[in-house]
Structures are given as C-alpha cells and as structure tokens.
Structure 1
Amino acid sequence: MSDNCFIDGLKILKKSSKEAVGSINEFEEFKEYMHVERPIQNELFDIIKKANDADGPQLILVCGGVGDGKSHTISYLKHRYPELLNNFNIHNDATESNSPDKSAIETLDEILWPFSDNNLENILKRDKWIVAINLGTLNNFINSEFSSNYSKLLEYIEENNILESEVSDEVQNISENFHHVNFSDYQLYTVSNDGVKSKYIENIIGKIIGKNGENPFYRGYSGLCSNCSEKDKCPVKINYELISNEKFREKLIEIIIEAIIKYKLIISTRDILNFMYYLIVTPELDSHASENIKDKINSQKTIDYIQSLTPYLVFEGQESSKIMKFISNLNPLNKRNKDLDLLLIELNTSENLLNMVNSYSKFEKIPNFENEISDGSSISKSDKKTLIEFIIRSRLFFEDSSDSMKDAIYGDYLKNLYLLNKHEKNKDIKTIHEDIKKAIYCWNGNGIGENLLNVSTGSKQFKYLISHSLEIKPNYESFKPRSESCHELLKFLPYLQLDYSLNDTNIKIEVDYFLYELLMKIKEGYRPNKKDKSTNIKFNSQMSKISTIGSQNELYVAKIGDDEIKFKLEYDDEFKEYTISGVR
C-alpha cells in the first residue's frame, strides 16, 4: 500500500493494473488474498481427487462460457494443491491452438487422443487430463471430422446433457474415464422465493472493506485517511466508508444482479474489482498523480464533491466499467410514476435543496464549500439538476424500498425464475404458462377466436385477419421436482424455460427478462412492432415455426373491425376442393 495516498493502494483493483495479467501457472499474493470460493470449485476439487485415485485414463472436462472463471479456478487449485494437480496434464484454453499450422479443433483432437475409442482399451495408458473448454468449442468438436473416433466420449456428453439447456443435480452417466463440471449451471447469484442474492459478490466486496489486519485496503484507509489533511473533503474516503455500510452494500449487490439478469452479463471477478474501484475513485481523481490529489480535492466545489460520491457515480461511469455501462440503464430517474413525479415537483420548488440532499441521502452533512449553494433560487439549472439526481439516486440506497422504486415486472420475473427452476407444480406455475400461451396467440395480433393463431400474409394489408387452428397446451412431463431440497438454488438456468405441446408437437421456449416484459405487454393488448420482433429474433423465428404447426387445411377470415361476420375456408384432401362457410 502506497505511503502517499489511499488511492494509490486502490489502483491494484483496476483492470489495467499489472496484477490483472496472469497465467494458469501464476497465482500472486494479491490473487490469493482476493480469491473467493464458489460451490463449483468444491465440486471440481472432489472430481479431481476421485480421478487421481482411479485407474485408467481420466478426462475432466471443465465446461462453460467465456469469462466465467474456469481458468481462475483451475489456477487456484493448482496453486493450492500442487502435489495433487501435478498428476494431471492441464489444457487451459481449448479455443487456442498449440501450433500455428493447426486449428484449435486439431489441437483438441491431439489432446483428447488418449481418450479415443481405441486408446481407452489400452490398459498401459494412464493419462490424466483436465481440459477447460467453452461449450461452443465442445459443440464444434463433436460435429467435426474427428468425432467418429470418440463415440464413448460423445455418449457421455449426450447422456449428461452437457450441451443442452438443462440443469441436473446429479451425473446421469457415471463413467470410469470421463468426468465434468459445467460452469454454465452456476450463476454469480442464487435464487430463492425471497429473491436473488450473491454471496460471491458480497465476499469479493468484503475483501476490500473487511476490517481486519489481512486486508491491505483497510490498512491503507485507516493508516492514510485518518491522518490526511483533506479527510473532511475527500469523496474517496466517504465512498469507502459508504460501501462499508451493510444496507448500502446490499442494495448495491441487488443492482449488480439486476444488471446481470436483464442484460445477460457475463462478468469476471476482475470486472467486479474494476467496478468497485470506480465506485470509490472518480476518473478525474484517478488521472491525477498522488502528489496532486490533495490540491485537486482542496479546490473542488460542492457540486464536484456530490458528483464524486458513490450514489451518483454508480449510474454515471459508462466509460469506466463494463458493469457501470449497463447499470446506467437502471437509473431510478428512468422509472417515471406518480410518486416520483410528485417528489420531483417538491424538489424543483424547494428553496433549500442542500438540506434536502442531507435529508434524503442520510449522509453526514454534505459540506457546502465556501457557501456555494445558497438558499433561494440563485443555484444554476445544471447544479440544481445534479442535486436532484443525487437525491433520487441516494433515495434508492438509503430509503426502504417503496413501490415507486420497485420494478414490478422484474419482481414477477424473479419469482417465476425460481419456480420454473425449482420444478414445483402449483398454481403459480400454471399461471405463468397460461400468460405466455396467451402472448403467443397474440404475437401477430389478437386471433379471430379461441385457439386461433393469426397468420402473416406476407404483405401489408389492414382489412382482414387470417387465422388457423392451433392448440397450445403446457407440457409438464419433463417437470420433475429437483432433488435439491435447499430453499436457495445454486444451480439453475438464468432464464425462464417453458415446454408446450402444439398439436402434438413439443417445443421449448426460452424467455429472458426483456422478452418476458414484452410478452406481458402483449398479453394485455400491446401489438409488437418490427423493432420488437427484430430485437427478439430467436423467439420471432420460433413463432414462424409455430405458425406452420397449425392446421393447414382450414383458415378463418374476418374483416378488421367487424366482430360479427367470420368465414371458414376448408380444404378437402379427399375431393381436392375448397369450401367456405360463415361462422359466428
């Protein structure tokens, strides 16, 4: 930790710091201190111990997506248990080639060759491998020309649904030679009937603010900030103290998880550390040399100070942090409603905004440097806007959540996320299936009648609706209760997955948050536009396929705006003729 300024010691958290760079054979003191255990680490360690004691070739596939922690976990275990891990060959990135004249798939074939069908029969072979591999690369390999040599491995992959959108509590096919863990089954957060939490993110932040002698950041804060001549004016000091506040930290983690769920973020530990740095240190202070920081702090204005505080920064740092870029979309000012509008009116007409800042933010009194913000209407429009923004954002962190600050659709989505992953059949499960079913029927506009799905005519016309018959029923056959009895789910799909039978054809529908939000609007009568359909192109493509499942031998036609007269057009396969009849 630097002897000059607390900020210097915090810079190790930045993504650009030299400590951010490492390899599987390196695990520096800082990384060891910052390491936080995850359930999948213990699962992988148990598999490694089992494979180490086993006879015959042993292959451990560490599967997942980009940036989900596969390499870090293997690196940590190699550092922590070198005698055990030295018994294994490790290929840490199956997207890379070991040779410039070979593709990644060819390299992977070389590595996996001891586990080909022929070599598995060679009792003299005792190869033990740990291979970290992205699911996309694994999928490419099993569809490559080399796959014919690996029927046993492919059988293991298929029977354990490694490439499928399913989460299993148990290995379905226990193999003597093959083992796997799947990072895609685990998220950075857990889900329960009470909402979402992240012990992992909480523990990472705890490494930064924990009040103990092992924490280099706390040592720097307590040693440098308490003796600093600018401690009463320093936003970095108060931001560190603010993040140490349990209630504030809980809300901060909720916001991070909301961004992960809504925007399907894949974030690493390094992303979280970089995010925490820019919650504490403004980009402006970050850019100054440590010997100039005190002068900069001493010359700041009250508005500069307020804009440097965490409740303001968290929604402003789009350029500083990957996480902030998306959190900026969750700015509470974007959620307009009656309660918020009334508060904005009150703030805009207030004669003493600074008092209201102190009241709503629950800070110790915000310093009014040189009495810059005076009572009355002398404050500039831009400064007034900043103060109001700060008050609204602080209210999100410091007040008990009121209905005006809650996202009801997001709350319903979390509830359904838990229920669908828990696989408990109840009235709520029936409700979500019926809601999505109704939205499917209305995707191309309200149908002419019950169980009728509108058909796109392929050209713009606004006089007639054309529908065909399609029966959609929820399919609960695969809805088996999870063996995991815990109230809090550790392994789950990060989206809603619903199964339906459509005229005896089974189809699975994946619904992420923004598609869910759209479908709930459609259920209430909203008509999706071209942008909605292009944004949800996968679901729109599914809807096109669903349209072909409906009856092809009968169509229903109605004039738009006339609910009384409908016509049914039928085709008789036997006599090769059409008939048309009026229906009510």
Structure 2
Amino acid sequence: MNFNGGFLNFLEDSSPIGAQIAKKMEDLIFEDPSSSIIKARVFAEEIISQVFKHENLEVFHLSLNDKISFLSKEGYFERDIQRSFDIIRLAGNKAAHDGQFNDITEAFKLHKEMYKIGVWFYEVYSLEQQLKIPLYEIPQIKPKENIEDIVRKQIGELIGLVNFNQLKRNSSVRADLPKAKINENIETSTNILTKDLQSDQSYLLRELTRLKDSSQEAIENASQFSTFKDYMHVDRKIQLDLENILNTRDSNMGNLILLCGSVGDGKSHLLAYLKEKRPELIKNYTIYNDATESFSPNKDSMETLEEILNNFSDEKINFSTDKIILAINMGVLHNFIYRKHENYTYNNLKIFVENSELFLNNITASYSRGNIDLLSFGDYHSYELTVNGPTSTFYSALINKVFSPSSNNPFYLALQEDEDRHLNTIVHENYKFMQNSFVQEQIIQLIIQAIIKKKLVISARAFLNFLADILIPDEVVNRKLLNDFEVLEQSLPNLLFNRRERSIILEAVSQLDPIHYRSVYTDQLAVNLNTLSNWTPIINEYIQEEVSNKWLVPIITDNNLINHSFNMFFEFFVRLNYLVNKEFSSSISTHNYKDYLNNLYFFNIGNLQHIRNVYEEIKSAIFKWKGSPKRDFIYLNNPSEKFRLSQKLNLSPTLEHLSKRTDESIDTFKTSIVLGYKNGENSDNIYLEIDFPLYQLLRKVQTGYRPNKQDAEDGIKFVEFIEKIYKFGDKKKEMLVHFPQDNKFYMVKRDDFGSFVFERE
C-alpha cells in the first residue's frame, strides 16, 4: 500500500474517516496550525466513536471527556493511550476557545499522539493486520507549498538544526533525531568551560554528564586528581584532621597513620587530593591504598600486611623510621591484630587499637599514641546532628558546586552558553529548578533520611551520580517537542521518585515518596482538585516557584483530567509541593523519624533528661515485647504453652559509654542510640544498639502492636539482647506462674530456710 498520501493511511480499511481526517490535519500543519489542532481533536472523537461502535456501547450523548473516562475506567485502553487522547483533547480546547492560539509546535506534538492512537486502533480493531506499519516520521514541508522563512526556521529549531537555510524541503527527518548529543569522555581542560561543541550540542548536558558514574571522571584513583575533581573537591573534617597530624609529626621519626573505613567512604579521593594539592605533607610517606592485595602470588592479604607493617612490629617499632599511610578496612584490621603471626608480633599495635576503642560503642574519630595515628571514617559523617534536626554542610557544598550562579562554576557557565545559543531541554529547566535553595535543602533531607532509614553510605561520587539521575531523563530532546504530560514525566520531581531501578539511592528515595503519606493537606488537596472547577487558585496557593509553574500552566487550563491522567497530575503535584512548599512538606513528615533524630542528638551530647526518657521508653517496649503479668515481671516462655513463667526484672541503666558534649552541631557521632544496662554490682554490662528501623518497631510495640515472626527476624539483635538481659532477673529467687485458662497466678520462691514455697497470688 502507498502511504505517501497520509501518515495514517494504514487505517483506511478499519477507519477510513479517521485516515481522511488525519491526512487533512497533516496538510494544515504548515498553513494553519490552529485548524490542524482542531482536526486532531476531530480525529480523536472519530476514533472514540469507532471504539464505542466496535464494543456495542451506548453513547448517551456523552462528551469526549466522558467517553475517554468511561473507556479508561472499563479497561478498553491503557494509560498511555488515554494520555494521548487527553493531550489531543486539551490542545483542541485551547485552539477552539483561544483565538490567539496558533502554535505549530503543539500541532507537531499532536501529530505524534495521533500516530500512537492510530497504531493502537489498528492493532486492536483491524480485521486484517497484514500491513507493515511504517515508523513514525515528523510532518514534512511539501515541495509545492511556498512556506515563509520564519516557518522554516521554527521547524528547523524543532529538529535541532541551526543553519535553517539548509533545511531541505524534501528531507525525510525522523522525529527522534533532535536529541542533544552527549560526549561523556571529554578531555579535561584548564579553562573553566571548554567551548568545543557543535552548535546543536548542549554544554550543560555535557557538564552534567560528568557527574555520572559512567563518566571518565568517576574513576577514583589515589594517584590521580583531575582538574574537574579539583573543582568539585569539598574539604571535610577528616581531611583537615589528617593534614593536622601530618603537620605536627616529627619529620625525623617513624609514623604509621591508619585510615580505617569501608568501601566507598572516600579514602581514595582523600589520598589523591593530598598528592595533588598538599604534596609537601606526604613527600616522605609511602601510601598503601587497599593493602589487602598481595605483592606476590604466594602471599595472602594478612601476609601482605605483615610485610607492610613489619617495621611497626614489637621487635622494630622503637627503631622504625618508616612513614606509612595505610588505608584499611576495619574488618581487615581487626583480623590482623588478633591473628597469630609467623615472623613478628604486633602486641603494641593491638593495644593501640584496643585503647582507641575503634571496635567499641564509643566515638573514635581520631586517636594518637606514640608514633601511630588512627582516623576512623566510620565516625566522620556526611551530615551533622543538631537540636533542630540534621543538616549537611558536605552535601550542601557539593550542590553549591553544581548549581551556584557563579562565574567560577562551569555548570552555570554551560547553562548561560546554551541560553545564548537558544538551546533548551527539560534538563535546563530541571537545573534551574534545582537552583532553588529550599528545593536543595529538601533533596539533602531526603538523602539524610535514606542514610538513616536504609543505612546507606553515600559518597561524594554516589551523590553526584544521584544529581545526574534526577536532572537528566533517558532521552533528551528539544523542549518544544515534549507534550504536557511528557514534561511532567521528565521533570525533576518525577525523576526523583520514579527511577528506583537506577541506583540504591533512588531505590531508597522512592520509598520516601510523599504520595505514600496521608495528611490533612494531601486529603484537602485531593478534594479541591476533584471538586473545584478552576484549578488556578489552587496552584497559586501552593506553588510559588517559577520554573514549576511553567510545567503546570498548560495543564491547569483544563481541569477535566480523568483516571490515569488525573492520577499522574495529582502525584506530580504532591511531589512538587513536597519540594517547594515548606508548610506542606512539614505536614507529611513522620514523628518517629523526628523523635529518633532528636534522641540520637541528645544521646551523643550526653543530655541526661532526654536519655532518661529514652531508657523509660525502651524499658516499656522490652516488657511489652515479651509480655508482663504484673509490674516489673516479664514472661520467659511463649504464650502458646499451657502456663506462663515470668521473673522479676529490674533494669539498671549505665551511662559509662556516654560522654558530655556542648556542641550545638556535631559531625562525629554514633549513628545508633546505644543503651547500656548493668547487672547489680557486677561489671558485665550489656549494650543495646537501636537504629531507626528498630526504634520505629519498638514505638509500635509501645502502642500495643504485637510483634510477629518477621519482626523477630528483623529485630534479631533486640531478641538476642532480651535473652541476655534475662540473666539480670531474679528467677533463682522467685518466679511467677500464670495459668491463662483459669487466670490464676502462683508465686514460687524460697523461704528463709531455703525451701521452695508455692503461694497463690
């Protein structure tokens, strides 16, 4: 079949009128875009009418909106097809009621949506599906038409050309061509912004792509510190502490510096920074980054460490002049100092590590003794605790590197360069949206939540990759080619919560999506959007941010969104409000999270009043977890047994592991609440470490929740703690026996002569 007569000619058998309307729509695009848009709406009405006929449905003089709503609710088409109908319907309303609406770019968008609908209709309702449906192509300027240069220029902008005179009248340009080109492996330049791209390529996209894990800049190497990494570098306290150690150490004495941490905590970046920016501090040092790999095939990691550290063995440490910086995993260090060694002994090193309390509940940010220094990455954090909640100077500084409107910022300069060349994509709008200071703070708070709730370690590199993920959609095209719903899909609020498969961070953030939380604000918002005929006052009340207002305006001109389209708009609106509206975002934050952070701060500064309250809370949770027949008695066996045994349990808190601090903001702290209990006069204390998931579970138990088997598995450390704390009870002196069936209690105890007495309570 010849398809040159119209782009939906494959519908001539199944919907001849629809194919004819589509051809007329395409013919009018360049002559009269407004009429072309109205023809697109007529096409949608014709296809919907055909569906009603095929399905033997009664029309009852329904409006187009009602028909689309009915077919969507009844499952006759999926959300993407409904969205195409809605896009055409909304644009058709604009063209019909606004005499000044004559946008050729809107006609181009509808042309593509008509193609989607046409393919769907053909595949579902055509009796003979023997035709090979052609790939979509954008409308072309017909040779016989005398189109003004201004129209040619506008079409040229759409397809990404700059020299509009080169736009050929007979060229067959695919609709998916006008994508901004990405070059991930650009060479680093000493200039702030290297201007070497073609006129249709985006500098901003190029610079942001450098933030990705897949870029050349992502490779961490302790021996390399590029210009880009130099710009992105942010001073951290552990770096300053290490520099202070290097400055104060005697240059004539040996020195071992242990950088203890885990994978991805920034050790390689720190060492590369020192080599590039402070070489005078480490010129006499030998650096071992990841010293667990053997120097020779016949040696394992422990033997390799023996070789590195032999001059700090007991036999040589007092005479050593070696200067070594050793980056080492905490688990590897633990195994090394408690290992039986072949040629040397390392008792001095073992005593040093034990005295540092690196493996205990105390904070060990840094510790020095003799000629050995230790820095623990585990107690330096990427965020701070304050009485008003967590903050992060580290993530704030990284965000400032990317989004500050500064002449020293290559990202901002790239934005300006693109604007001068009239390049605009959704990436540019997402970037401008992220320049809002409150949006930045909300993003940081989400990251801190992910760290605390999901126990993530988010390095600078991982955070920068996260920024790229929420700024850059899968396909980047000219902004004018996106329909209204595609704009919402590719905007930052949706990229932030809808890309869980891209990284562990986005997986965690997706679980913090504000659409999962109920509040009076979200309920009222849903009521208003469903009942009010004019959405403009709602938008003006909630959203004061300039960029996002532009995303909303095209949609709120018609509030007749239905089903999938309404749900998408509502979810987007909730997410947007969370990012730009302080009052709204505060209304959906959880009390458990706030209380946990509040208590965590007071535990780390040793505030006795707040510590007392937490001990009381957890005591209540302990007794309610196992059950309690009477005050200070706790059940020992399961409720499924015929009788229940319980013992008296007096919990005596200890505060020996806590220290008093007066800092209003702390950046070295324990990330879990640690409670300690002592057994009378004995010295065998037992400690309970409470992270946020356990704290949240114990909060539920306090309000009457009965933990199940899964809870016991998730809170295994708490279950093990209870088993240990049983040893502090008085079961050797007395026990309470409860017969639930009769609801009778008996006390078993020893009398003054050591005999057992069985008494009814």
Normalising by structure 2, report the TM-score: 0.69
Match of 1:455 in 2: 636
Q: In the alignment, is residue 276 of structure 1 matched against residue 467 of structure 2? A: yes
Match of 1:290 in 2: none
Q: In the alignment, is residue 341 of structure 1 matched against residue 523 of structure 2? A: yes
Q: In the alignment, is residue 186 of structure 1 matched against residue 380 of structure 2? A: yes
User: Matches of 1:253 and 1:226 in 2, distance apart?
Assistant: 31
Q: Alignment partner of 2:382: what SS?
A: strand
Q: 2:430 aligns with which of 232, 239, 257?
A: 239
State the Cα deviation string for residues 541-577 of structure 1 (Å, max 9, x = none).
Answer: 22222234423323212234876x31122368986x6
- How much does 1:442 deviate? 1.7
Map residues 436-515 of structure 1 onto 2, 5 A cutoff.
Answer: 436-445=618-627, 447-457=628-638, 461=640, 464-482=643-661, 485-503=662-680, 504=682, 505-515=684-694
Q: 2:598 aligns with which of 412, 415, 418?
A: 415
User: Matches of 2:365 and 2:657 in 1, distance apart?
Assistant: 15
Map residues 164-313 of structure 1 onto 2, 5 A cutoff.
Answer: 164-168=360-364, 171=367, 174-228=368-422, 231=424, 234-285=425-476, 293-294=477-478, 297-313=479-495
Amino acid at match of 2:667: L
- How much does 1:361 deviate? 3.5
Q: 2:264 aligns with which of 67, 90, 112?
A: 67
State the Cα deviation string for residues 389-446 of structure 1 (Å, max 9, x = none).
Answer: 1111111122223553221111111110110000132x2221111111111122212x
Match of 2:501 in 1: 319
Contact 1:423 1:480 in 2 (8 A): yes
Contact 1:360 1:391 in 2 (8 A): no
- How much does 1:19 deviate? 1.1
State the Cα deviation string for residues 345-371 of structure 1 (Å, max 9, x = none).
Answer: 3333344557745653334333579x6
Match of 1:558 in 2: 738
Q: After superposing the two structures, state which structure 1 stretch, 408-417 or 147-156, moved more.
A: 147-156
| Structure 1 gap ranges (5+) | 286-292
Contact 1:63 1:133 in 2 (8 A): yes
Contact 1:10 1:217 in 2 (8 A): yes
- How much does 1:36 deviate? 0.3
- How much does 1:55 deviate? 3.5
Distance change in 2, residues 1:556/1:298 (3 Å): same
User: Matches of 1:368 and 1:160 in 2, distance apart?
Assistant: 57
User: Matches of 1:339 and 1:139 in 2, distance apart?
Assistant: 51
Contact 1:20 1:270 in 2 (8 A): yes
User: Matches of 2:462 and 2:392 in 1, distance apart?
Assistant: 15
Distance change in 2, residues 1:170/1:322 (3 Å): closer
Amino acid at match of 2:736: Y
- How much does 1:220 deviate? 0.7
Contact 1:473 1:502 in 2 (8 A): yes
State the Cα deviation string for residues 30-49 of structure 1 (Å, max 9, x = none).
Answer: 11111100011010011122
Distance change in 2, residues 1:334/1:579 (3 Å): same
Match of 2:304 in 1: 107
The structure that has the greater radius of gyration is: 2
User: Matches of 2:298 and 2:480 in 1, distance apart?
Assistant: 59
User: Matches of 2:653 and 2:663 in 1, distance apart?
Assistant: 26
Distance change in 2, residues 1:209/1:498 (3 Å): same
State the Cα deviation string for residues 320-339 of structure 1 (Å, max 9, x = none).
Answer: 23321101111112122444
State the Cα deviation string for residues 484-535 of structure 1 (Å, max 9, x = none).
Answer: x431112101111111224554211110011111111212222211111111
Q: 1:406 aligns with which of 564, 589, 595?
A: 589
User: Matches of 2:656 and 2:742 in 1, distance apart?
Assistant: 41
Match of 1:288 in 2: none
User: Matches of 2:726 and 2:651 in 1, distance apart?
Assistant: 12
Q: In the alignment, is residue 581 of structure 1 matched against residue 759 of structure 2? A: yes
Match of 2:334 in 1: 139
Alignment: residue pair count:
556
- How much does 1:301 deviate? 1.4
Q: 1:41 aligns with which of 239, 243, 246?
A: 239
Distance change in 2, residues 1:323/1:239 (3 Å): same
- How much does 1:376 deviate? 4.6
Amino acid at match of 2:354: E
Q: After superposing the two structures, state which structure 1 stretch, 518-527 or 348-357, moved more.
A: 348-357
Amino acid at match of 1:196: P
Q: Alignment partner of 1:225: what SS?
A: helix
Distance change in 2, residues 1:139/1:516 (3 Å): same
Contact 2:258 2:373 in 1 (8 A): yes
User: Matches of 1:355 and 1:561 in 2, distance apart?
Assistant: 63
Contact 1:69 1:268 in 2 (8 A): yes
User: Matches of 2:324 and 2:242 in 1, distance apart?
Assistant: 13
| Structure 2 gap ranges (5+) | 1-193
Contact 2:604 2:658 in 1 (8 A): no
State the Cα deviation string for residues 122-160 of structure 1 (Å, max 9, x = none).
Answer: 3xx411100001111111111212297011111111111
